[in-house]
Amino acid sequence: MKADPRGVLTGAHYLDGDHAAAEGGLAAGCRFLAGYPITPSTEVAERFAARIPKVGGGVFIQMEDELASMSAILGGAWAGKKSMTVTSGPGFSLMMENLGLGIMMEVPTVIINVQRGGPSTGLPTLPGQADMMQARWGSHGDYEIIAICPSSPQEAFDYMITAFNFSEKYRVPTLVMMDECVGHMTEKVVIPPADEIELTPRKEYTGPPEEYLPYLPDKDMIPWMTKAGDGTRFHTTGLTHDEKGYPVMNADCQETLVRRLIDKIRKNADEIAIVEEEEVDGADVVLISYGISSRVAIPAIERARREGLKVGSLRLVTVWPFPETRVRELAKNVKALVIPEMNYGQIYYEIERCAAGNARTILVPHGGGWVHDVNDVYAGIKEGLK
């Protein structure tokens, strides 16, 4: 299915990551954004608010808070509009409640978190990458989620489309974990013609309305979806539910449902995993990075290579589900994995787990507020070669 040209601003633009993400959403067919202002993410909402009356067929609303924003986009998606919201750390915390509802109801939506320094109000105008574990585990209960980390405005555009496609395909709220640096960085963004943008259509139920079972899984574990007003008169709930969507309060139903919610992502992890590899074959040390840290790592890698050191790079575009298979393989072939991230160890521990003792894992932490000093990343590489 091709993109609707009305939402696609084809051409070359000079945009910051926030604006590019808004354009990515529009190009992906998003026609409903409910949000609440918060630095450094607000520009996404502003751009959408300015564009949607001109694009047509959609609406923007500034809600009273992030609880309402996240809740509203679930309603929006159920009513048949591709829906998104955007926030930063403090708002992301508030969204966790209804993120869980979105996971339980299996609602395709996209949530952008333009990460800033935390905890709490932290550093509103400066970058962080410390919400990565919150993205994974922030809502209560057990679940799997998809999270993607763009590292440039162009990628903010491109991966918003990917995020919407994943959310439709797997019927799961999909997180776009940007950071202030990417959000406020302005670069050239090329928006392709609409007929070059491939969109994943919603998995629509087309059978007799009275036979519809909203949570009867297909072979791929994903149930068919209808929207409110289609005549199927379905029920959905945040409670543990059966195939009819009716609450069932017992361990068997919990096992069937939650197992499927997890498996539909976990068993497709290799397909969802987007990674970029560079010179990993024969490398002694491989840097594993994501988001803005990937770009900061490159000068350090180049410096090491100029000195004749064998350094590779594995960039995680998909961070959740964690690209476990690849990291496990890699750990068997290198001396060390070096992980620069703007926190004191989040994805690092995932990597350490997957390295399983086969390679050393070296964290190059940064508390946020700025990106890494290239020298620190370089020192991490040298440490890995010891």
Residues lying near other proteins in the complex (CB under 8 A): 12-14, 16, 31-32, 34, 53-54, 56-59, 61, 63-65, 67-69, 71-81, 83, 97-98, 100-101, 124-125, 181, 184-188, 227-239, 244, 246-247, 292, 295-296, 298-299, 370-371, 374
Minimum distance from residue 82 beta carbon to other proteins (Å): 9
Give the number of other Cβ atoms within 10 Å of residue 211's Cβ.
9
Where is 186: in which H helix or E strand? Answer: strand 186-191
278 to each of 275, 286, 322, how far by Cα in Å?
10, 9, 19
Minimum distance from residue 226 beta carbon to other proteins (Å): 8
d(CA 126, CA 136): 22
Q: Are 164 and 82 in contact (CB under 8 A)?
A: yes
Nearest alpha carbon to residue 231 among 210, 214, 203, 202: 210
Buried b (16+ CB within 10 A) or exposed e, 84-98: bbbbbbbbbbbbbbb
Minimum distance from residue 29 beta carbon to other proteins (Å): 13
Minimum distance from residue 71 beta carbon to other proteins (Å): 4
Task: Check residue 364 and give left, alpha or beta (phi > 0: left; psi -120 to 50: alpha).
Answer: beta
Minimum distance from residue 307 beta carbon to other proteins (Å): 18
Tokens of 204: 């629509």
DSSP code, position 288: E
CA dihedral 364, 368, 373, 379 (to 10 degrees): -10
Minimum distance from residue 353 beta carbon to other proteins (Å): 29
- Per DSSP, the residues of 295-315 read HHHHHHHHHHHHTT--EEEEE
Radius of gyration of the chain (CA): 21
Give Cα 84 to chain centroid, integer Å: 12
Nearest alpha carbon to residue 316 among 115, 147, 130, 131: 147
Nearer of residues 155 and 352 to other proteins, judged by Cβ: 155
Minimum distance from residue 185 beta carbon to other proteins (Å): 5
Nearer of residues 5 and 53 to other proteins, judged by Cβ: 53
d(CA 81, CA 91): 23
d(CA 319, CA 290): 8
Minimum distance from residue 358 beta carbon to other proteins (Å): 29
Minimum distance from residue 352 beta carbon to other proteins (Å): 26
Token look-up 């440039």 returns 152
Minimum distance from residue 315 beta carbon to other proteins (Å): 12
Task: Check residue 172 and give left, alpha or beta (phi > 0: left; psi -120 to 50: alpha).
Answer: beta
Nearer of residues 101 and 269 to other proteins, judged by Cβ: 101
d(CA 101, CA 342): 29
Give the SS3 label for residue 362.
strand
Token look-up 């040209």 returns 5
